[in-house]
Structure 1
Amino acid sequence: MTNNVIEPKRVLVTGGAGFIGSHLCDCLLARGDEVLCVDNFYTGRRRNIEHLLGNPRFELLRHDITHPLFVEVDEIYNLACPASPIHYQVDPVQTTKTCVMGAINMLGLAKRLKAKIFQASTSEIYGSPHVHPQVEDYWGNVNPIGPRSCYDEGKRCAETLFFDYHRQHGTKIKVIRIFNTYGPRMHPNDGRVVSNFIVQALTGQPITIYGDGNQTRSFGYVDDLITAITAMMETPDTVTGPVNVGNPVEFTMLELARLVIEMTGSSSELRHLPLPLNDPHQRRPDISVARRVLGWEPTVQLREGLRATIAYFDSSLAAGHAAVDDASASISRII
């Protein structure tokens, strides 16, 4: 009789205590894998993975991937890097090192182990795009010397390394470009629009809108993203990406602010501030490749996802976990 039992994999998740990484750890453990979560806790938080610490198939290692890592695993998910401007601009040199040296170290590990490796790339690859919506073969419009360049160009260089390792060494790579993602476990002081608006609304602070508020973003819920990530890892080795993953429904910042105010029952007013340098005016993915290659598209609508995210922040604020200081105070704590 043929034994069809599939042996669980030992999987490395870098940045595993972060917002997206912790949800990925949950998913991998739920399907029976062993998970080695690696994080230096620069922006990752222990409380994101505290519920996993008693799981015998979960291991936590504090480590910075700008330094080599010598472990034995079957697959690697590389998610390590601060992803919000307020965090990655605090130490831009370290951000670039994490993107580039981190990729080199993880690719070197994958090469040695002959392991499949996933790269969490970003829509910031496209910069302030001249093509809308963004398609994977668009090369982007990125300022190489601006305040966002450490992240934008760092991620672009990481993609270069992944594809060169694939061409030169036959490394099995999977690359997706993640568009705006939100959900429970977002850092309350990450400066991203969804977490900013929700925390401000729940605490009665003014809702800060940069520019006139007519710039657009598309918002993907974290559960949809995790489904896409794991689906990408299960594709044949010939499928390398990059693949856009995000929600193609576009909202202006004003629309999002008004929806958050409505759903929280807040009395917060809108406050307009100057638009940050190099902030993209439009951002929306073309997900035709994801639909074709992964059989994937988002299923969680914005109102549904916001409901769960608001409940998370409401609970965190009540428990005293989510600080509500302004951006400058957040940066001072990180420094």
Structure 2
Amino acid sequence: MAVRGEHVVVIGGAGFVGSHVCERLLHSGHRVTCVDSLLTGSADNVAALRGSDRFDVVCCDITLPPEKWPPFDPPSDVLHLASPASPKDYQRLPLATLRVGARGTEHALELATRHGARLVLSSTSEVYGDPVEHPQRETYWGNVNPIGPRSVYDEAKRYAEALVMAYHREYGTDVAIARVFNTYGPRMRADDGRMIPNFITQALRGRPLTVAGTGEQTRSVCYVDDTVSGLLALWRSDLTGPVNLGNPHEMTVRHVAEQIRDLTGTTSAVTTVPGAVDDPQRRCPDITLARTALGWQPEVPPREGLHRTVAWFATRAGSPLTPRT
């Protein structure tokens, strides 16, 4: 069995969060292989890492049988972050989303089990659906519509969690489950349809910021650096989980839009559009377990994280904007 951290395979490593995980691991001295189909990820996200002799990129669809994968060295650890994650993506790619949650997760587990590696699954707060418990604890079983337009993502992650625990019980595979709440930051796609990149892109273009529904529904938003710290703290631990990773500071969607409008200095209006089907009305994690078992909690205040994210988007867009502090 390889030593923990000797060679970490990050599945979905060219995605938004995955690329930050690869970067943090590499800068911490680990050898890293990024495995990604580039279905929703981007080679640009890891381009700056490719000069390192401790970093490799393998273009691979993990929903295919493993014998069809390009060869790469056995892992000491597997971090499984692969999946379309924005509603726009998983509703455009419903079957691909289900396949990566089911076949992809099983193939990742087979890889980890074969080599005695620890596997960390990046699951999601979406397993809680439109919750009737607030804030959401890991013991809550959720309130999910299994046939609605969001179900392909919700149920793919719920099935992936069940599969991870089945491998743990039947084969003794070393596993952990992270339930990641809304994460934002640099490297999000401007067109991915999620709340924060939508608002920032609209503000930078001088367009109205469109809030879905009433805007009074709540979210907890966690800056990507904090999410990565939580994922790696869970990976380094012996905890199985599931463990909530998110910011317990609850904000309305309208407040997020107003914060971004203020940071960009735009005079755009905040307007409303019809709400999405099955859109959760309240979302906030109870992170007691992460605090006590991992010593983890978010460190970046929401306004500071939004400031950094606006600055990154402004640079990418060639905007002369200097975000307000």
TM range, smaller chain = over 0.9
Give the whole-Å Cα distance in 1 for the aligned partners of 2:59 and 2:261.
38
SS in 2 for 1:176: strand
Match for residue 270 of structure 2? 270
What whole-Å deviation, never above 9, does each CA across 1:288-314 have from its counterpart, x for those lacking one?
A: 010111011111001100111001100
CA RMSD of aligned residues (A): 1.2
Q: Specify whether residues 279 and 8 from structure 1 end up closer, same or farther in structure 2 by C-alpha distance, changes over 3 A only.
A: closer
Kindly provide the amino acid, as one letter, of the partner of residue 37 in structure 1. C
In the alignment, is residue 19 of structure 1 matched against residue 16 of structure 2? yes
What whole-Å deviation, never above 9, does each CA across 1:61-118 have from its counterpart, x for those lacking one?
A: 1111101246411100000101000001112011100111111000011111111001
Give the whole-Å Cα distance in 2 for the aligned partners of 1:158 and 1:185.
25
Q: CA deviation at 1:251?
A: 0.5
Give the whole-Å Cα distance in 2 for the aligned partners of 1:8 and 1:289.
24
TM-score (norm 1): 0.91
The equivalences for 1:133-148 within 5 A come to: 133-148=135-150
In the alignment, is residue 173 of structure 1 matched against residue 175 of structure 2? yes
The equivalences for 1:46-195 within 5 A come to: 46-67=43-64, 68=66, 69=69, 71=72, 72-195=74-197
Percent of aligned pairs sharing the same letter = 47
Give the whole-Å Cα distance in 1 for the aligned partners of 2:305 and 2:93.
31
2:181·2:222 contact (CA, 8 Å) conserved in 1? yes
Match for residue 33 of structure 2? 36
Q: CA deviation at 1:271?
A: 2.1
In the alignment, is residue 9 of structure 1 matched against residue 11 of structure 2? no
Match for residue 314 of structure 2? 314
The equivalences for 1:261-300 within 5 A come to: 261-300=261-300
2:13·2:34 contact (CA, 8 Å) conserved in 1? yes
SS in 2 for 1:308: helix
Give the gaps of 5 or more residues in structure 2: 320-325
Kindly provide the amino acid, as one letter, of the partner of residue 98 in structure 1. V
Give the gaps of 5 or more residues in structure 1: 1-5, 320-335
Give the whole-Å Cα distance in 2 for the aligned partners of 1:40 and 1:140.
30
SS in 2 for 1:256: helix
Between the two proteins, the alignment pairs up a number of residues equal to: 312
2:62·2:108 contact (CA, 8 Å) conserved in 1? yes
1:247·1:298 contact (CA, 8 Å) conserved in 2? yes
Match for residue 226 of structure 1? 228
Give the whole-Å Cα distance in 2 for the aligned partners of 1:51 and 1:254.
35
Give the whole-Å Cα distance in 2 for the aligned partners of 1:235 and 1:45.
30
Kindly provide the amino acid, as one letter, of the partner of residue 264 in structure 1. T
1:8·1:32 contact (CA, 8 Å) conserved in 2? no
Give the whole-Å Cα distance in 1 for the aligned partners of 2:221 and 2:133.
19
Give the whole-Å Cα distance in 2 for the aligned partners of 1:8 and 1:295.
20
Q: CA deviation at 1:205?
A: 1.1
TM-score (norm 2): 0.94
Match for residue 328 of structure 1? none
Q: CA deviation at 1:7?
A: 8.7
What whole-Å deviation, never above 9, does each CA across 1:170-206 have from its counterpart, x for those lacking one?
A: 0000111000000100111111111111111111111
Kindly provide the amino acid, as one letter, of the partner of residue 121 in structure 1. S
SS in 2 for 1:20: helix
The equivalences for 1:240-259 within 5 A come to: 240-259=240-259
1:52·1:58 contact (CA, 8 Å) conserved in 2? yes
Give the whole-Å Cα distance in 2 for the aligned partners of 1:206 and 1:184.
22
Give the whole-Å Cα distance in 2 for the aligned partners of 1:268 and 1:15.
36
What whole-Å deviation, never above 9, does each CA across 1:97-155 have from its counterpart, x for those lacking one?
A: 01111110000111111110010000000000010000000000001111111100000
What whole-Å deviation, never above 9, does each CA across 1:305-327 have from its counterpart, x for those lacking one?
A: 011100110011118xxxxxxxx
